Amino acid sequence: MDRAYANDVLSWAYQQNPGPWYNHSLNVAKATEKIILELNKNGHDLNSTLAYNAALLHDIGRFKGFTESVIHSYDGYMFMKELGYMGNAIICVTHSFPCRNENIENAANWSLIPDYMKKQLLEILEENHDYDLYNKVITLCDALADAEGFSILEKRLISVGLRHGTNLNTTSHWKGFYKIKKELEDLIGRSIYSLLPEIEKSIYTNIDY
């Protein structure tokens, strides 16, 4: 619940492994807060600071450096669990899997993940398969923000696919983001894009790969 502490944790992680993931995390947090506040305007009772901090630390596992596939999700889970923040730990995993009850093997380069990690990731997802609004908003915002700012889904997903690879189940994985987007838009009665300043600029910039 302490934004200053959450920022300190992120800054420490960035010092361990500098990279664009840091600005990405900041932008995911900003997008998350905007959507959470809009949901509150439409009758929900969500804590914007809780959401902001969870979004800020969703990729905290990157402090270990470059890792294949969703290993950063496992590393983030273990790190936040050790600090005693189980809600944040779970977000570190769920944000990588937009579809509830998703086949965990949809993750790119799944074969590169050690078996003991696969087992624990599967257990975490099975125990937390019923995503609440915090999970859904942060998961979507992970696909709406890059290091430069806010991005339309199509550009962001293609960028991730080019950098990390795809598999036969990638389109099913992507559909999860669109499903969440539609669900949230139905709740607020407007396009998610309308909440994110200057998102239209993303269509004029090059895709990272």
Residues β-bridged to residue 145: 150
Q: Is residue 84 part of a domain?
A: yes
Q: Is residue 74 part of a domain?
A: yes
Task: Say which amino acid occupies 8.
Answer: D
Tell me the CA distances in angstroms from 205 to 27, 66, 151, one per residue in order.
17, 25, 10
Q: Is residue 209 part of a domain?
A: no
Give the pLDDT confidence score for residue 102 in this predicted structure: 64
Q: How many domains does the chain have?
A: 1
The pTM assigned to this predicted structure is 0.94
Range of the domain at 119: 3-204
Give the pLDDT confidence score for residue 171 in this predicted structure: 86
Highest averaged pLDDT of the listed ranges 6-15, 101-110, 121-130, 170-179: 6-15
Q: Is residue 180 part of a domain?
A: yes
> Which CATH number is 71's domain given?
1.10.3210
The per-residue pLDDT for range 24-76, each reduced to its tens digit, is: 999 999 999 999 999 999 999 999 999 999 999 999 999 999 888 899 999 99
Rounded Cα distance, 48 and 134, in Å: 9
